[in-house]
Amino acid sequence: MLGWEIDRDALTAPAVARNRDAILDVLRRVLPARGTVLEIASGSGEHAVHIAGALPDLTWLPSDPDLEARRSIRAHTLRAGLTNILTPLDLDARVVPWAVDRVDAIVCINMIHIAPWAATVGLMTGAGHALSEGGILILYGPFREGGRHSADSNGAFDASLRARDPVWGVRDREAVAAEAAQRGLVLTERMAMPANNLTLIFRRARA
């Protein structure tokens, strides 16, 4: 019965298989050796399982406001037999303050372009409060820079997002960094990633 429930609840996102190893390579380098990592908008939970399985000394705290996503996270966790993934939180990035203790890092993969701008503002506000001093926020996804898309495919993707919902869309890296800076989060690294995506690393300033 348990196996049937896992198979029923475990969702699959095709993009995960394409980008998970590239993301993991970055996280191996920038995450602390030990500590708690909060993942915002964990979705299916496939990233959580892939990363937590590869980095067993970290405690992974997934979250998502969607009940179906949280069930999927639990199903993938049970299937993988991982003990360093905590019960997923019901957390909407827009609703601050978040009901979380201090964490050492926050990871947010492919969220801010499929959410209203308020989610980016909430993400930065929540991260500014939840991160320990010197803690890092890691964003992955497509961004515009200097008001331009990095590839025609990103422009087409942006148009398709805005057609689905006018409050969605690929965000300007400079605007995201400005929101972060207002909350004590400094952009310290920009990395080009496969498929015209970026990883941005923000660090919470020490007092």
Decide if 149 contacts 172 (C-beta within 8 A).
Answer: no
Beta bridge partners of 131: 103
- Summarize the confidence of residues 22-36 as an average pLDDT: 97
Q: Which two tokens stand for residue 55?
A: 């980095």
Model's pTM, two decimal places?
Answer: 0.94
Q: Is the pLDDT of residue 6 over 70?
A: no
User: Which residues span the domain enclosing 73?
Assistant: 2-204
Q: Domain with 84 in it: what CATH number?
A: 3.40.50.150
Instruction: Give me the pLDDT at residue 4, please.
Output: 36
Number of structural domains in the chain: 1
Confidence class for position 2, pLDDT limits 50, 70, 90: very low
Tell me the residue type at 128. Answer: G
Q: Is the pLDDT of residue 164 over 50?
A: yes
Decide if 134 contacts 206 (C-beta within 8 A).
Answer: yes
Write out pLDDT tens, residues 31-49.
999 999 999 999 999 999 9
Q: Which helix (H) or strand (E) holds 37?
A: strand 35-40
Q: Is the pLDDT of residue 140 over 70?
A: yes
Q: Is the dihedral of CA 9, 88, 80, 135 positive or negative?
A: positive
Instruction: Give me the pLDDT at residue 12, please.
Output: 82
List the helix and strand counts (H, then E) for the chain: 7, 8
Write out pLDDT tens, residues 82-111.
999 999 999 999 999 999 999 999 999 999
